[in-house]
Structure 1
Amino acid sequence: MNTQTLSQAAQPVTLLTIPLSAIYLADNYRSSIDPVGLKSLAESIRTGGLIQPVAVRPLAVPFEGYEYALVAGFRRFAAHELGQLPTILATVRDMTDQEAQMYRLVENILRENPHPADEAVAVGKLSREGMNTEEIAAYLGQTARWVTQRRAISELLPEWLTDLRQDKLTLGAAEELSRWPESVQRRCLDNRSQYVVNESTVKNWVAREKQALSSAPWPLDDAALYENAGACTGCPKRSSCSVMLFAELAEEGKDTCLDSACWNTKMGRRIEQVLAEQKELAGEAPVVRLSTKYYEAPAGAVKPDKYEVSKRKKGTVVGVYVDGASAATVVRVLLAQETTKALESGKVELSQGEKNRETRQKRLLKEAGKRVLAERCYHALQLSTDEAKQGRVRVLAKLVAESLMQGRVIDLLTLAELTRTWGWPLAGKNGPDTKGLPYREWVEAQVLLTAPTEALLTQLLLFSVTHRGLGSEWNDNQKTAASLVGNPQVQEGLDEATQALFEREYDPRTLRARKVPLVEVTQLVPADADEQPGEQCAQAA
């Protein structure tokens, strides 16, 4: 494209005062206008007039009363609308769509530096319309590097471009991020936080992403190693494909891989290739994996303190490095005695990191198994079959028994209340007569005897929760239960009722228990015996 055809001086210009209603607002690459600044501008125009006219172009086909399209001066146009000014001073020039976009960008950059995100979007549009870097740079009076950076920023992931526009990402950070492939930008999204991201932060994120292609232990033209990625020589995720953005690497003559995920995949496959080749050559002799790490060594790899690299063949074995700068390199090593024994027995010593991982995996698997079992039990109990109903009764009975016992035994005061309300057998000073049964089995039997249905078991469970710990001097469970009920009448007159109950059961002078029957059996609510406690109570009476 010849930039001379874009010369504004070559186009005839007319200065006119035009009604706002005759001007069509085309797309504006600026995304927002500061309302405070706009109000100030409107007041300035009202009092002193418009100093810098807006730019418009005639519409080839007028429509709906519009005769012109606004090219530049959206903020000034908005100020006229805010100030309720019916007309605006404008320069009229014939322009193509591309010329209009160029004029708009140049006019805004020279008059008032727009936001870098808006610059990037504009440069991206011009690039997509066919203008190359040199043409855009010449027309804007910017360097080719500036244009390349803005174009790269326009291709950032939407999340990062939004952060830049909202000043959550600095321009330097955006320029650094825009150099990297989309896959790297997406991985960096996991590091976003409430704080502003600056250039040094991004550089720390991507520090491990680049790998010198000269260090690759595989042929760079090998397209079969990782078919999804193809050969490194034709991969666009190399610094040599973005020389302008990676000028520092280009000056050093280094071609660099910019995608660590792809690099690591190829490295892993190459290591396995080398191991397979060496095992085929070694026959029955062992081939060991070697690590350069003393801690967190890869699974099954021998740590550096368990081997020694040797040039001799006798007494040594073949080793292949599986990490570090020497990954996929073949050496001969002299193994420590315990390592040799472990190899002979088929058991390679695990590093502490591997042991920790195994322990954690076992714990997590156990937890996962519990969750699966719990889910299955829960859904099985939710069924409406007779078997499910019986299962619910058994589970509820166990829960009620555990709730009453709190893992040990039922305290005597709670047991007295169970006798008084639910008809449980009288308990002596040393507890109930379990008739030779283990205590837990006796409690479960009494639960099922006095509450044989789901409804009664639910009532008994509520009884257990509200009466828990009556024999404990410092237990606040009753207050907690009362607060959960949320009914103010529950605690209304509590002190008076407590005093009356105390005087009825104890002599206030001697604090000795009055000689009254321990249990006074009463029915809670006369009703169907299958749905309310009482039938067993009457029998006990």
Structure 2
Amino acid sequence: MAKRGLGRGLAMLLPEAAEISQGQVREIDIAAILPNPYQPRTLFDPVALEELAQSIREHGVLQPILVRETDSGKFEVVAGERRLRAAQRAGLTRIPAMVRACSEREMLEVAIVENLQREDITPIEAAKAYFRMMREFGLTQEQVAQRVGKTRTAIANALRLLQLPEEVQESLERGEISEGHGRALMMAERPDAILRLWAVVKSRGLSVRETERMAKAARQAISPSPAPASPPDPQIQYIQERLQGALKTRVALHFASSGAGRIEIFFYSLDELERLLDHLVPQEG
């Protein structure tokens, strides 16, 4: 089966990158090139990097990197940081590059898409990059999905991984567990339960399905037994059913003897939370 491409590739984000002519390419001193400050990738496989460096020693850099010029006269990598690192290893002092003016947001977007297309980015790195796009540039999940060629559900699922305990996120970055394991561990809900189960997953080499079963069992084990329910007040039940119908999710009403109370609105994914937000607090305009 052919590998499915991203909906938005580098050529769509930076059209000039798709049509690099020899006249546009410059030889730039590697010492004058700085890393992409928005590079989401923090881990570069040293073995793969050395293999690329060896290829560069034999054949040179076949594809120019993309850079932007800074106010200080230096350059920052937009795309091709892996090639730059390999060229440094190969002992090169200059590298072919195309200079292009681009914004900080474009630098982050291109770095994400480049790594996704090469499958060189870990799930946690991708999730942190998506979150950074939302936080620094005010994008919604839908807008992030459009920019990087993913579905909104894929972005929401990736962001959920950032709710895992730090130790589990680091384990996922190191490749000790898979993204599927990470999502399965989330089912245990409590951080202490997730950490205990994570240790078991690693020591026993559990599959994703086995992890899901254990996470569900752990969640049920810590859930308190429900108290005997008193007959519901018809008026309260009517209000609760109306709220559930309007919000299309589970709603619980809680009353104190004074007549005060609270409303609980349940959601089961970040997508659903955003849907509820749009319903309850419509955007102006």
Bin the TM-score by the shorter chain: 0.5 to 0.7
User: Of 58, 65, 75, which aligns to 1:68?
Assistant: 75
Answer yes or no: is the 8 Å Cα contact 1:145–1:244 preserved in 2.
no
Q: CA deviation at 1:39?
A: 1.3
The aligned counterpart of 1:173 is 181
The aligned counterpart of 1:15 is 25
User: Of 184, 187, 194, which aligns to 1:188?
Assistant: 194
Instruction: Tell me, yes or no, if structure 1 residue 26 matches structure 2 residue 36.
Output: yes
The aligned counterpart of 2:210 is 201
Q: CA deviation at 1:22?
A: 0.9
**Within 1, Cα distance between the matches of 2:204 and 2:130?**
28
Instruction: Tell me, yes or no, if structure 1 residue 143 matches structure 2 residue 151.
Output: yes
Q: CA deviation at 1:231?
A: 4.1
Compared CA separation, residues 233 and 87, structure 1 to 2 (3 A) = same
> Where do 1:361-440 residues align within 5 Å?
none
SS of aligned partner of 2:42: coil
Q: CA deviation at 1:84?
A: 0.9
- Unaligned stretches of 5+ residues in structure 1: 246-541
- CA-based RMSD of the aligned residues comes to 3.3
The aligned counterpart of 1:96 is 103
> Where do 1:44-443 residues align within 5 Å?
44-59=55-70, 61-62=71-72, 67-129=74-136, 130-178=138-186, 181=189, 184-191=190-197, 192-193=199-200, 194-208=203-217, 209=219, 217=229, 220-222=252-254, 231=262, 233-234=264-265, 238-240=266-268, 242-243=270-271
Q: Residue by residue, what CA displacement relative to the aligned partner does 1:442-467 show, whole Å, maximum 9, x if unpaired? A: xxxxxxxxxxxxxxxxxxxxxxxxxx
Q: For 1:73, give the aligned amino acid.
A: G
The aligned counterpart of 2:4 is none
**Farther-moved stretch of structure 1 (105-114 vs 165-174):** 105-114
Q: CA deviation at 1:103?
A: 0.7
Structure having the higher Rg: 1
Q: Residue by residue, what CA displacement relative to the aligned partner does 1:474-513 show, whole Å, maximum 9, x if unpaired? A: xxxxxxxxxxxxxxxxxxxxxxxxxxxxxxxxxxxxxxxx
Answer yes or no: is the 8 Å Cα contact 2:68–2:99 preserved in 1.
yes
Q: For 1:81, give the aligned amino acid.
A: Q
Q: CA deviation at 1:113?
A: 4.0
Sequence identity percentage: 24
**Within 2, Cα distance between the matches of 1:163 and 1:134?**
28
Answer yes or no: is the 8 Å Cα contact 2:40–2:125 preserved in 1.
yes
Q: CA deviation at 1:164?
A: 0.7
Q: CA deviation at 1:88?
A: 1.0
Compared CA separation, residues 10 and 82, structure 1 to 2 (3 A) = closer
Answer yes or no: is the 8 Å Cα contact 1:167–1:196 preserved in 2.
no
**Within 2, Cα distance between the matches of 1:202 and 1:224?**
40
Q: Residue by residue, what CA displacement relative to the aligned partner does 1:314-348 show, whole Å, maximum 9, x if unpaired? A: xxxxxxxxxxxxxxxxxxxxxxxxxxxxxxxxxxx
Compared CA separation, residues 206 and 232, structure 1 to 2 (3 A) = farther
What TM-score, normalized to structure 1? 0.38
SS of aligned partner of 1:222: strand
**Farther-moved stretch of structure 1 (115-124 vs 193-202):** 193-202
SS of aligned partner of 2:102: coil
Q: CA deviation at 1:77?
A: 1.0
Q: CA deviation at 1:110?
A: 1.7
- Unaligned stretches of 5+ residues in structure 2: 1-7, 231-235, 237-251, 274-285
